[in-house]
Structure 1
Amino acid sequence: MTLDSETFRALVTEASLSPSVHNTQPTRWRLGPDGRVQVLEDESRRLPVGDPEGRDLNVSHGSAVEGFCLAAGRRGLVVDVGHDGVHVAELTVRLGGVSDPLAAFLTQRRTYRGKFEGGAVAHAAMARFEQSEDLIVAQDPDHVAELARLYDEAGLRWFRNVPYRAELVSWMRLSRRHPSWSLDGLNAEAMEMSGIEATGAGLVLRPGVFETLDRIGLAGALVAEAAVVRSASAVALFHRPANEAPFDTGRRFHRVWLSFTQAGLSAAPMAVLADDTKARESLQADFGIGGERRLITAFRLGVAPARDLAAKPRLGLDALIV
């Protein structure tokens, strides 16, 4: 079959809801005259300091393609994912797809970075993940507290890296006046920051200010998230084969997150636990993740308070389709 423009745009719209590192949304889409879809990369969306090897970039691409495939299945379409050595991927769409149960949650998945609500609902939902081959679920409060401590220690080490902090701040949208507030990056609302907290974060993270606060022992407390992490009903360590292509990891990453949503859980990734060498090695040793596996990220999990949420910051189709 030949994929028509209207269906293509609808598929890209749903795929654009997929998670990406720092919400950079690096994946671009092109519909060829033969109906095939070329998946491309916007190189301006790379993170040369935080992701110099492009692993997270390619995880993001894989996540987006998985979103495209799930959206296609809901429309009775099958997507064959190929790699031509030129583009990120080349997709061939044909009839015959069956809707995957996870597809219904593409539009519902959210990152929740605030404090979770407790309750038996979250702990009951967690049981379905305990036998997963690529998830280790820590529910004991002492284990969660220890992970919270490691998270803050690793985060502080990374914040002390001036180029990394500058790169991160460049993707933070701390004021509604920022031109990209509703388009990409991490806005204050998504980070569960009040206006006062967002203004404070902008000051604390400035070059020179952070270093001064760090010298007098205040920086760690000001960027700490341990209290939020401890509110989680569990922390899930997501690990994959060490030799797996990041693109393929990204496809599985998206499916895992959607499965949390399907179970009624909210999630927030704690990527620094995998990015920081010291933290990653400690966790892999403590939780028995052998050398043939790689810790990809950790998710804090729980039930978010019920409330109306703003639309996700996302680029429009005119930017995504090239």
Structure 2
Amino acid sequence: MTPEDFADIVADAALSPTVHNVQPTLWRRIDAGTVAVLQAEGRTLPVGDPTGRDVAASHGSAVEGFLIAAGARGLAFVAEAGEDGEIARLRATGSASPDPLAPVLRTRRTWRGKFAESPAPGVLETLTATAPDLTVLSEADDIAAVAALNDVASLKGFRDHGFRRELLAWMRLSRGHPLWAVDGLNAEAMGMSGMEAFGAGIVLRPRVFETLDRLGMAGALTGEAAVVRSAAAVALFHRPADEPPFDTGRRWHRVWLEMARLGLSAAPMTVLADDPEAEAALAMRFGRPAGTRLVTVFRLGLPIGDLPAPARRSVDDLIV
């Protein structure tokens, strides 16, 4: 692996999904066959992710992206335990054939807007067959129930001032923001119009949100039930309860790429897994496979309009 190969692979791996698009992974080429995976300083979520589980899963997602991108160039790597504070080490093991998911590694996007007409017949059945860790729900009543739970759980999260402040720090509500195209959640990626983004910046401010909440208006402003109900399906993603978050993140990325390979766009609703009451309600209604935990819930379907451009850090910032 030449330095040029390494930079190209990192550029593709950088397109991997990460929590709040914080992009916490750095890369160091130790030699032609060894790469160290590192944690970027300051790219954690102390309030929303106090145990570091979501950031660890984000590292796993990025590593899976690296392995897929390397395989597309005929290079096989394996992930091993890190050394001296590293997240992991990647070691070359020889040549590789391209992963079937490689063609959508660069084109997968999060779609947080409303969805268009239903996908082609058989697509959801194929997804269910290829991803046994997904419970795919396509009945309107089931989707509506998930939408209602998501709104309740989201409002509870927004009521936490620390969480709201941390989220705002990663939101890019104006194209004039210097990090609009770099990281975090910009208004385009969140499916917001310019007016909606301007309003969000006001509504989520301290005291403003609390006032609106006391008036019973906050839920209507933060809810997204209509968007969720427009989805062709929602998919509950369960993984073994004792699985390391890094490994969960690798699988999370692959599941998302499977959706993209079938022509579906998706957005995660992780608050449904983070909120104990919402998670319990989902388990009561839809079941939970024995020995598993709910990682997230995806809403999925066909987007209306073009997918947003990715906001990503430069390769120079990611290689150390």
Tell me the TM-score normalized by structure 2: 0.97
Between the aligned partners of 1:136 and 1:285, the Cα distance in structure 2 is: 14
Displacement after TM superposition at 1:84 (Å): 3.1
RMSD (Å), alpha carbons: 1.2
Q: Aligned runs of 1:144-163 on 2, under 5 Å?
A: 144-163=143-162
Displacement after TM superposition at 1:151 (Å): 0.2
The letter of the residue matching 1:287 is F
Q: Which range is displaced more, 276-285 or 157-166?
A: 276-285
Displacement after TM superposition at 1:80 (Å): 1.4
- Equivalent residue for 1:13? 11
Displacement after TM superposition at 1:288 (Å): 1.5
Q: Aligned runs of 1:21-100 on 2, under 5 Å?
A: 21-33=19-31, 35-85=33-83, 86-100=85-99
Q: Aligned runs of 1:1-322 on 2, under 5 Å?
A: 3-33=1-31, 35-85=33-83, 86-121=85-120, 124-131=122-129, 132-290=131-289, 292-307=291-306, 309-322=307-320
Count of residue correspondences? 318
Which 4+ stretches in 1 moved above 2 angstroms?
129-133
Displacement after TM superposition at 1:124 (Å): 2.7
Between the aligned partners of 2:92 and 2:290, the Cα distance in structure 1 is: 37
Identity of counterpart residues, as a percentage? 55
Contact 2:119 2:264 (8 Å CA) reproduced: no
Once the two structures are superposed, residues 74-99 of structure 1 have per-residue CA deviations (whole angstroms, 9 ceiling, x without a partner) of: 11111011103531000112432111
The letter of the residue matching 2:72 is R
Contact 2:65 2:105 (8 Å CA) reproduced: yes
Displacement after TM superposition at 1:310 (Å): 4.8
The letter of the residue matching 1:140 is E
In structure 2, runs of 5+ residues without a counterpart are none
In structure 1, runs of 5+ residues without a counterpart are none
The letter of the residue matching 1:288 is G
The letter of the residue matching 2:275 is D
Displacement after TM superposition at 1:34 (Å): 5.6
Contact 2:138 2:232 (8 Å CA) reproduced: yes
The letter of the residue matching 2:278 is A
Change (3 A) 1:37 1:124: same
Aligned-partner SS, 1:228:
helix
Aligned-partner SS, 2:98:
coil
Aligned-partner SS, 1:190:
coil
Once the two structures are superposed, residues 155-178 of structure 1 have per-residue CA deviations (whole angstroms, 9 ceiling, x without a partner) of: 000000000000001000001111
Displacement after TM superposition at 1:291 (Å): 5.5
